[in-house]
A and B are shown apart, each in its own frame.
Chain A
Amino acid sequence: MKQQITLSAFNLGIGYRLRGGKEKVIHPNLNLQLYSGQVTCLLGMNGAGKSTLLRTLCRFQPSLSGEIEIMGKPINLFTQSELSLTVGVVLTEKTNAGGITVFELVSLGRHPHTGFFGQLKEEDYKIISASLDAVGITHKSDTYISELSDGERQKVMIAKVLAQECPIIVLDEPTAFLDVTSRIEIMILLRKLAKEQNKSILLSTHDLDLAIQMGDCLWLQSRDNPMKRGVPEDLILDNSLESFFRKDGIVFDRTTGKLSSPLSKIPVGVEGDFNTSYWAGNALTREGYLPSTPSADYTSIKCVSPTEIEIKYANGTVGHACSIEEMLKCLTNRIL
């Protein structure tokens, strides 16, 4: 499918209008494009203004300056009902919907399409059940919202947005309160929707790993710098992510794509079975060593299997460990 620009912003200033004509500017100048068929992850520290940006793009709050265009049309020319057919949202706001069923909540997504009394027609029913299917929650149709897990609630809200049939979907921290598996599930679901239904999906998140793993495009928002955008791997390779996350005591590791404490200079060689050596390296990094290619100058570890680890010390002696835990103990006893 052809990827089109669905939403763009030019010289967009975001922030709040205070009393007396003053403005609290969060970001003075943002230029962005959102594409169809893509999952775009908005990353930024707390206070960088992620929510403010999302709220501005959905017209929940006015921009301070600049232009937002949706489907090529300035956002301020949209009527409220037109906008509700174009941009759908999933928010972190607490709802009061515990007493209605999953089906009823998803049917609220049909509101912009139905008449004055909200009567559902046959087509609406079809779209609602298709939306329930797409997020895989059809079996809970008649369950009360209050009886769902957090992950299921999030899926229902996504189904609601699907029933709304908007080409653009904006989600504010959709994975924030979820456990690890639900986070991945939701991200896989969003990817699937972007690809299969050609939606533009924009979400804010603090999950760096997931964003790198699942995002087609990352937006890096910080208060004082212009917005960086790009495919995650490009942003890693050109050091954008590294400089974005630079902070005392924290380092973005270009090889693993993870944030960690600054790398130590004590090298330890690692070789052998791929799986074991990968996780041995993980443990060594955590303990403050620098996993390197084996050499006679420093201690090296040869991983034969997860239960058979050989430690060659720098002085030539050899030790054996049958778990990573034991290996770490040997190292701390001998090297330091």
Chain B
Amino acid sequence: MLSLRIMKKQIFLGIILLLLFACNLAYGSLSIPLKSVIEILFGSFEGKQTWAQIVLQSRLPQAVTALLAGSSLAISGLLLQTLFKNPLAGPSILGISDGANLGVAIAMIYFSVGSYVTTILSAFAGAAVVLIIIIYFSKKVQNNVMFLIIGIMMGYLASSVISILNYHASADKVHQYVMWGMGDFSGVSLEKLPYFASFAIAGLILSLLLIKPLNALLLGETYAANLGVKIKSTRILILLCTGLLTATATAFCGPISFIGLAVPHIARLTLGSSNHKQLVPVTILAGGCVALLCNLLTVVPGSNSVLPLNAITPIIGAPIIIYVIVNRKNIQYFN
């Protein structure tokens, strides 16, 4: 009975995801009639070639990117929350996104690196450095709030190093970097998409393989060890997975705030469970939904301009986090 209810919720989320995906294809800063969009997708369109190009070369990869980046960030948030036993952890709040950001900044400004794989690798290196420092502090600071503040400090440190780098860099490189740093899903062209997608999907699959140890970690590391979980290697795998997902999303879409922090809460609240067997798939779906929704909302109706993504994500994310904090006494997974 329980599984039927959960299955219904998953199917419901799946339908919402498809609808949002379709909206992302149909709706953009240039209005294209729905009928034409459908014809373009099915290859039977014989009208303006620019329309076909917009739908296939711009909107389609952008929607796929939003879907995967949203899922990636949401899962890395969930992994961090479970690993650190802290429901308010997330890739941006712990400074991991900023670390990835810093990695890209160093690569772009100092080494003039532009290729996707090296961008990902430098983002991953940056994220990994912050993760290692964070783990070091997680052993020293047991208090959840203090730990989050250390994460926020890490983020500030990374940002200040980025500012210093920018100060010394040439104007065009800074411009290139700043454009990247605005954060949006349109940066991934159809040619880049396979690279992005394969890294993101690899990370998401890895997260599915971690479901069993993640559940054991709900009891804490000592209990998990007693249940046969190899703590050290599990922790490394979780961090690899988090680093990979955050780095991939950040390298291609820029630093995106709040999705990693807020979506696991949306998933847990709709699901009513912290059992990772259901929570991981639902977080992947919900992450995709939220990112697609945010992407839709960046389009200003009746104008050609597009808002920066990071102007939208807090509008959706921040109220959820505030709601969760205010109601934490009544939310099961907080107690």
Number of interface residues of B (CB under 8 A): 29
Q: What residues of chain A have their CB less than 8 Å away from a CB belonging to chain B?
A: 58, 60, 80-81, 83-85, 87-89, 91, 93-101, 104-105, 108-109, 111-112, 114, 116-118, 142, 144-147, 164
Q: Give the shortest distance, in Å, between B144 (CB) and chain A (any CB).
A: 10
Interface string of B196-239 (1 = CB under 8 A from A): 00000000000001011001101110110111111000000000
Q: Which of A89, A97, A98, A142 contacts B222 (CB 8 A)?
A: A89
CA distance A83 to B225 in the complex (A): 10
Extra A-B contacts (12), CB below 8 Å, given A84-B228, A108-B227, A142-B2? A60-B226, A85-B228, A89-B222, A91-B223, A98-B332, A99-B275, A99-B333, A108-B215, A111-B216, A111-B228, A114-B212, A145-B332
B226 near A88 with CB under 8 A, answer yes
Q: Judging by beta carbons under 8 Å apart, are A104 and B332 in contact? A: no
Nearest-Cβ distance from residue A169 to partner chain B, whole angstroms? 11
Q: Which residue of A lies closest to B81 (CB)?
A: A96
Assess whether B212 is in contact with A89, with CB atoms less than 8 Å apart. Answer: no
Contact flag A111-B211 (CB < 8 Å), given A95-B223, A96-B218, A99-B268? no
Chain A residue numbers with a CB within 8 Å of B333 are: 96, 98-99, 146
Counting chain A CB atoms within 10 Å of each CB, the highest count among B82, B220, B230, B268 belongs to B220
Majority-rule SS of A interface residues: loop
In angstroms, Cα B228 to Cα A80, docked, is 6
B219 adjacent to A108 (CB under 8 Å): yes
| CB pairs A–B below 8 angstroms (8 shown) | A89-B222, A95-B218, A96-B220, A99-B274, A99-B332, A100-B215, A100-B218, A142-B2
In whole Å, how far is B232's beta carbon from the nearest beta carbon of chain A? Answer: 11
Collect the chain B residues with CB atoms within 8 Å of residue A98's CB.
Answer: 274, 332-335
* B170 contacts across to A, CB distance below 8 A: none
User: Chain B interface secondary structure, helix, strand, loop or mixed?
Assistant: helix
In the complex, chain B residues whose CB is within 8 Å of the CB of A105: 219
B227 x A97 contact (CB < 8 A): no
Q: Which residue of B lies closest to A81 (CB)?
A: B228
- Do A87 and B273 have beta carbons less than 8 Å apart? no
Across the two chains, which residue of chain B brings its CB closest to A85? B228
Q: Is the CB–CB distance between A80 and B212 below 8 Å?
A: no
Q: Is there contact, CB below 8 Å, between B220 and A93?
A: yes
- Answer whether residue B192 sits at the interface, using C-beta atoms and an 8 A cutoff: no
Q: Which of B220, B227, B230, B273 contacts A111 (CB 8 A)?
A: B227
Known interface pairs A111-B212, A111-B227; A104-B335 also in contact (CB < 8 Å): no
Q: Is the CB of A80 within 8 A of B225?
A: yes
Whether A164 pairs with B227 at a CB distance below 8 angstroms is yes
**Least Cβ distance of A296 to chain B in Å?**
64
A99 to B218, CA, bound (A): 9
Q: Mark B299-335, 1 if CB is under 8 A from A, else 0.
A: 0000000000000000000000000000000011111
